[in-house]
Chain A
Amino acid sequence: METVENKNIRQKINAVTDLPVGYTPNLESKWDLLEAGFNKKENKAVGFYIRYISGIAAALLLIGGAGLYIIKNNKPVARQVQQASAHNEPAVIPVIPAGEKKTAKKRKETNRIYKETHPVKTEFVIHEITPLSDSVDQPATIIPAQLLLTSDKKTARFVELDFNEPVITDQAPSPVVVESKRFRFRIGSGSESNAGVQSANPSSLMLRKAFN
Chain B
Amino acid sequence: MNITAEHIKQVKQGSSATQKLVFEGLFSTMFRVCQRYIVQTDEAEDCVMKGFLKAFQQIEQFEYRDEGSFQFWLKRIMVNEALMSLRKKTNFNLVSHEVLPEVGFDDDGIQHVDASYLFDAVLKLPPGYRTVLNLFVIEGYSHREIADLLNVSESTSKTQLVKAKSKLKKLITQTNYGYGNS
Question: Cβ of A101: which chain B residues have Cβ within 8 Å of it?
Answer: none
Considering only residues 96-112 of chain B, those with a C-beta below 8 Å from chain A are 104-105, 107, 110-111
Number of A-B contacts (CB under 8 A): 73
Asked if A118 lies at the interface with its beta carbon under 8 angstroms from chain B, I say no
- Once the chains bind, are B32 and A17 in contact (CB under 8 Å)? yes
Asked if B64 lies at the interface with its beta carbon under 8 angstroms from chain A, I say no
Question: Cβ of A33: which chain B residues have Cβ within 8 Å of it?
Answer: 49
Nearest CB on B from A149, distance (A): 70
Among residues of A, the one whose C-beta sits closest to the C-beta of B168 is A9
Secondary structure at the A interface, as helix, strand, loop or mixed, is helix
Question: Cβ of B52: which chain A residues have Cβ within 8 Å of it?
Answer: 34
Asked if B56 lies at the interface with its beta carbon under 8 angstroms from chain A, I say yes
- Among the stretches A18-26, A81-89, A126-134, A136-144, the one at the interface with B is A18-26
- Once the chains bind, are B28 and A35 in contact (CB under 8 Å)? no
Question: Cβ of B57: which chain A residues have Cβ within 8 Å of it?
Answer: 38, 41
Question: Bound state CA distance, A9 and B110, in angstroms?
Answer: 7
Q: Mark B99-131, 1 if CB is under 8 A from A, else 0.
A: 000001101001101011011001000000000
- Once the chains bind, are A15 and B115 in contact (CB under 8 Å)? yes
- Once the chains bind, are A10 and B28 in contact (CB under 8 Å)? no
Considering only residues 145-168 of chain A, those with a C-beta below 8 Å from chain B are none
User: Given A4-B107, A23-B41: A35 and B16 within 8 A (CB)?
Assistant: yes
Question: Cβ of A14: which chain B residues have Cβ within 8 Å of it?
Answer: 138
Question: Given B24, B49, B104, B111, which contacts A37 in the complex, CB threshold below 8 Å?
Answer: B49
Nearest CB on B from A106, distance (A): 75
User: Given A8-B110, A8-B111: A17 and B28 within 8 A (CB)?
Assistant: yes
Among residues of B, the one whose C-beta sits closest to the C-beta of A31 is B20
- Once the chains bind, are A18 and B28 in contact (CB under 8 Å)? yes
Interfacial residues, chain B to chain A (CB-CB below 8 A):
16, 20, 23-24, 27-29, 31-32, 35-36, 41, 45, 49, 52-53, 56-57, 104-105, 107, 110-111, 113, 115-116, 118-119, 122, 136-138, 140
Sort A-B residue pairs by CB-CB distance and give the 6 closest, nearest first: A12-B115, A8-B110, A17-B29, A16-B119, A15-B115, A6-B137
Can you list 9 A-B contacts with CB-CB less than 8 angstroms, sorted by A residue number?
A6-B137, A9-B110, A10-B137, A12-B113, A12-B118, A13-B119, A13-B138, A16-B116, A27-B23
